[in-house]
Structure 1
Amino acid sequence: MQPVLKISNLTKEYQLDGTAFRALNEIKLTIPAGSFTTVVGKSGSGKTTLLRIIAGLEKATTGEINYLSGSSVQRPAFVFQEARLLPWLTVEQNIAFPLQGKLEQVELSQRVKRQLQLLGLTEFAAAYPAQISGGMAQRAALGRALIYETDLILMDEPLGALDAFNRRKLQEELQTIFAANQKTVIFVTHDVEEAIFLGEKVIVLDEGQILAEFKVPITAENSQLFTLKENIITSINS
């Protein structure tokens, strides 16, 4: 697969009490188009910082992010841990909000309708955030990201606040949604099992560096997945 972006020697430094703290240290990473990459690591390993720089929410100290020519990832979509829906808007209005006034109303309505159907939210289009479950709210947040029709979706622990049942259900839905849309996804999580379940490749970050990369077999027996999980955990704790 062609790469959708290449990250070269990406470094991010902060000043803490007059001392330089390196959150990312010369990250080198290639993300194939249409792939689902998961990123795991301890708190403070640099996972969210990496996503925020790719999204353009922060600037790197040094290094480059090069996008595939002709792709629409110059404005990647970002899904946060919390749904962050506007409580005074309906589900339909929340999904439309990022492009309100930027598209003709007919096209915007068509895009919103597609997202509602894709995410199973058509019946809840007129509901307000307080009237829907946490899982539905996260689906609406995903719809708000997908409506951009960008090639790249960045997700920062979007399922972390859900209970185990809703989390697993939404994991399965995410697999279906992204397989149908052929989007490129970079997904940050603390959950190694989630990283393996969703990802085609799992990247382990620690102290701002890539410790290891693991390819997830498309068809794998439970014993293989257990071994993969143990190898990832060992890498994180090394």
Structure 2
Amino acid sequence: MTTALLERLQSVFGAAADPGQAAPMRAYMRDRFAFLGITSVPRRALTRDVLRDAPRPTEAELAATARACWGLAEREYQYFACDCLVKHARLLTPASMPLLHDLITTKSWWDTVDALASNVVGPIVRAFPAERATMDAWTAPGTDLWLVRTAILHQLKYRDQTDRNRLFDYCEAWAGERDFFIRKGIGWALREYAKTDPAGVRSFVDTHPGLSPLSVREALKNLG
């Protein structure tokens, strides 16, 4: 990210700050992050303004943008970085996986992690199947739970291209985890895959009594 673009971003976003919105936004995120108070619809419009006439970035420039935004205090800057990565996901290669590892494990919460999981990590793994090994590593015992959630969710948009065995293996391996976001993530991933293979998901749930009630409820939500 060039210095000029970073300055423009901070100028545009800073001018749009709304302290009256910032307080409830911060409270909604359990006081984990500071906010400027820019809600999603105006923020995306401002993002388009910031990027207007900007040349197509390189992979290295996208990484620099993300790291610069992660270094700023207010959460809207991390959202800007996520929006840039999602917009240009097709430019990314396995060289970006260490960056994504860092973004997922730093200033971690569901808002940025979920944006990156299916919209950035997912496309990279689909384009470069060897990165399935990285997803396997991210679901190994003792791994940061946000990496686990990312790996479980990365196939959300794969539909009939979903690696069913890998999805089920991840869900089985982490079925006993007590963390809410892992249990919810398992249910969400299974619910999305159920749109493609409802019988497969129902069979998986029926044969895995160790799944949490939350995971089961989410997985079967649209199956009746």
TM-score normalized by the length of structure 1: 0.28
Between Structure 1 and Structure 2, which shows a larger proportion of helix residues?
A: 2
Between Structure 1 and Structure 2, which shows a larger proportion of strand residues?
A: 1
TM-score normalized by the length of structure 2: 0.30
